Amino acid sequence: MASAAGTTGETAGALERSKLQRHFGRLDIFFFLVCTLVGIDGLGTLATVGGQGFTWTLICVALFAVPSAMLLAELGAALPDEGGPYVWVRAAFGHLAGAVNNFFYWVTNPVWMGGTLVGTALGGLITFYNGGEEYSRAASYVFAAVFIWAGVLFAVLSFRVGKWIATIGAIARFVLLGLFSVVVVLYGAEHGFHGPSLGEYAPTFSGLVALVPLILFSLVGFELPSAAGEEMEDAERDVPAGIAKSVVATALLYGLPVLGILLVLPTDQATGLTGFPDAVKQALTVFGGTVETSADGTVVATLSGAGLWAGYVMGALVAVVAFTSGLTWIMGSDRTLAVSCYDGAGPRALGTFSARFGTPVRVNVLSGVMSSVVFVAVTEITSGSIAKFFGVALGLAISTTLISYLGIFPAAWKLRRSRPELRRPYRAPALGLLTVVSTGWILFCTVQLLFPGLGDDWFGEDYRPDGWEHAERWTYLLTEFVPLVLFVAIAVAFWAVGRREARAAVAAPRHEEVEPVR
């Protein structure tokens, strides 16, 4: 027998789903996934420990991206409901688990948008437009406000518009990373390649701890289009096909640029904030400019002529890629939060879709507010240092993201047993093994994000983020741990409010009958 709260959720869900608009085809899903999965905010960090950044990327693609993609392809084809990731976890483990897991899934993206992505875009502009000098705090605030709220505006628009922004973002990735790969070859032909020795490509434990959480963060998101499952034209066929193609594209668009950074930029000069833009700038000197080595060994590239104009274009592309990364995640995760709220796992006021746009406008605005708060908070904590800001924001975004997959990945295995009657157009092979492997990676990385280097040298030089000192490890832990505790508390509160509102709606007397729409 269905619970009263569940019945109310189904009624509310039917009302909100009637506002959805189908605009999402197979090619749209592919471009959306490329835009979702391929970011540049972590490329510089992957090069900070030498050649093993490239090695660990290949390992994670084979042993994490492929297994997890198979799990998510089965879920997306079998349960193509709006709010996919929330629906899967709730169906497998119940409303409370679904509510908490989904809040982490959602909150990651305002944190990422207002943190790392703003920092990445600023890093590109600093490198190509401001001579490598950081902008003032006031200028950073103005830029962040435009960056965040332009994203909110596009998220409010329907998928009819939003999918084209994602397509532009995907094309920008192909252009930026493709051109960089070509320019690296030209630069190497002219100046020679100066990458790490062959032995430096060997994977190590320090590389595992320092890089794998970031790599996994870069390789999750195959499920995101399923957040708009009922806005797809044919989810059962298009989701598995789109995921399969995006795995290949993601491997190429990550592997080649990381290798390019290693071949162009000295390892000890690569940074998380500007490592990729610095490598691009140095390579672009083949079109005009100079590369000099200062007394302290720092390589400084100066662009001129055609190289300068090429730098302006590449800097703009860096900002576009960062912006569209956040936009696609906001578009998807905001839908999952809205679905959970009309399903009784959050405040009903947030579980509404616009009849005009078919989008969760209230949650979109909430994401903008949260992103703005994150930017202000982290900026003040780090005293306006963009480099330190980048490290804190990236660590928090990674931890909240990976935690949400502790519920999503096991859902496929659980539902295979509890819901055997479901039609599964795609069935993942060796489901139990895929679940253990995918979830195991997430568990290990979650611990290491909170305690970098635990088991070897907690917060040692090889493990701590850029800009931090060993004496600041407790401060770093608090910046990561306190928000996680706060997010759990908010998620449980959301769930409690949603259940109370659902019960109240059932208990309320009905004085009027609503005339059916004719």
pLDDT digits (tens, 9 = 90+) for 306-346: 999 999 998 899 889 888 988 898 999 999 999 999 998 99
**Residue 259: C-alpha distances to residues 33, 159, 284 (Å):** 23, 35, 16
**Position 503 pLDDT exceeds 50:** yes
Residue 369 confidence (pLDDT): 94
**Position 401 pLDDT exceeds 70:** yes
**Position 129 pLDDT exceeds 60:** yes
**Residue 417: C-alpha distances to residues 216, 270, 377, 410, 412 (Å):** 27, 47, 44, 11, 9
Q: DSSP letters of 31-59?
A: HHHHHHH--STTHHHHTTTTTHHHHHHHH
Residue ranges of alpha helices (H) inside 353-472 are 361-381, 386-418, 431-450
**Position 291 pLDDT exceeds 90:** no
Phi, psi of 330 (to 5 degrees): -65, -45
**Position 244 pLDDT exceeds 60:** yes
Q: Between residues 414 and 43, which one has the greater pLDDT?
A: 414
How confident is the model over 430-454, as pLDDT tens digits?
999 999 999 999 999 888 888 888 8
How confident is the model over 158-216, as pLDDT tens digits?
777 777 888 899 999 999 888 888 888 888 888 777 777 788 889 988 888 878 888 88
Per-residue confidence band for 9, with pLDDT thresholds at 50, 70 and 90: low
Percent of the chain with pLDDT over 90: 31
Residue 21 confidence (pLDDT): 67
Mean pLDDT lowest among 219-228, 237-246, 474-483: 474-483
Mean pLDDT lowest among 391-395, 416-420, 463-467: 391-395
Residue 8 confidence (pLDDT): 54
CA atoms within 13 A on the CB side of 488: 6
What average pLDDT is seen over the chain? 83
Residue ranges and CATH numbers for the domains of the chain are 4-501 (1.20.1740.10)
Q: DSSP letters of 429-443?
A: TTHHHHHHHHHHHHH
**Position 511 pLDDT exceeds 50:** no
Q: Between residues 258 and 360, which one has the greater pLDDT?
A: 360
Average pLDDT over every residue of 293-297 = 67
Average pLDDT over every residue of 488-500 = 93
Average pLDDT over every residue of 479-493 = 88
Residue with tokens 């706060």: 486
Residue 71 confidence (pLDDT): 96
Distance CA 510, CA 414 (A): 39
Residue 44 confidence (pLDDT): 63
Distance CA 467, CA 307 (A): 30
Percent of the chain with pLDDT over 70: 86
Residue 171 confidence (pLDDT): 93
Per-residue confidence band for 271, with pLDDT thresholds at 50, 70 and 90: very low
Q: Between residues 298 and 225, which one has the greater pLDDT?
A: 225
Q: Give Cβ neighbours of residue 6 (< 8 Å, ≥ 6 apart).
A: 344, 502
Q: Between residues 48 and 491, which one has the greater pLDDT?
A: 491
Average pLDDT over every residue of 45-70 = 86
**Position 2 pLDDT exceeds 50:** no
Average pLDDT over every residue of 355-371 = 92
Using alpha carbons only, give the angle 467, 469, 472 rounded to the nearest 5 degrees: 110
Residue 48 confidence (pLDDT): 62
**Position 382 pLDDT exceeds 70:** no
